[in-house]
Amino acid sequence: MDYKKVKAESSTVPRDLNDLEDQTGNVYETVMILAKRSNQIASEMKEELNQKLQEFASYTDNLEEVFENREQIEISKYYERLPKPTLIAFEELKQGQIYHRNPAKENRKAL
């Protein structure tokens, strides 16, 4: 997914707990869904950032020479300005883009 095009808030916004409860009927369950999705987003973003920074990595072991790479700094700043993974996950939940299921509930209904 392209996280650069997500229309999530860039800062924290107070949320109504009733909105969270409307999604699954349980606030805790909704928060856990958001937490798991935000962890997925964070790991994807970190992997993407590491791949981009790996292109500029230097493998010299000279401690006296410290190179300031402008491209690395710009890439890092760009990723710092992106919305946080929890805000992206909340926006996805609001738009109905997150698929979730609870196997425990499904097993209870089958019995």
> Is residue 1 domain-resident?
no
The share of the chain scoring above pLDDT 70, in percent, equals: 79
Q: Render pLDDT for 85-95 as a digit per residue (tens, 0 to 9).
A: 888 888 888 88
> Is residue 9 domain-resident?
no
> Is residue 4 domain-resident?
no
Measured distance CA(71)–CA(52) in Å, rounded: 10
> How are the residues of the chain apportioned to helix, strand and coil, as percentages rounded to the nearest 5?
60, 0, 40
Q: pTM of the prediction?
A: 0.77
Q: Render pLDDT for 21-64 as a digit per residue (tens, 0 to 9).
A: 887 888 899 999 999 999 999 999 999 988 988 887 766 655 55
Full residue range of the structural domain in which residue 72 is found: 16-58+66-110
Q: What is the pLDDT of residue 46?
A: 92
* Long-range Cβ contacts of 42-48 (<8 Å, 24+ apart): 42/85, 44/1, 44/3, 45/3, 45/79, 45/82, 45/85
| Highest mean predicted confidence (pLDDT) among 59-63, 65-69, 97-101, 104-108 | 97-101
Note whether 22 and 100 are within 8 A (CB): no
**Tokens 């209870």 identify what position?**
108
> Is residue 11 domain-resident?
no
> Is residue 42 domain-resident?
yes
> Is residue 50 domain-resident?
yes
> Is residue 87 domain-resident?
yes
Q: Per the structure, how many domains does the chain have?
A: 1
Measured distance CA(43)–CA(104) in Å, rounded: 27
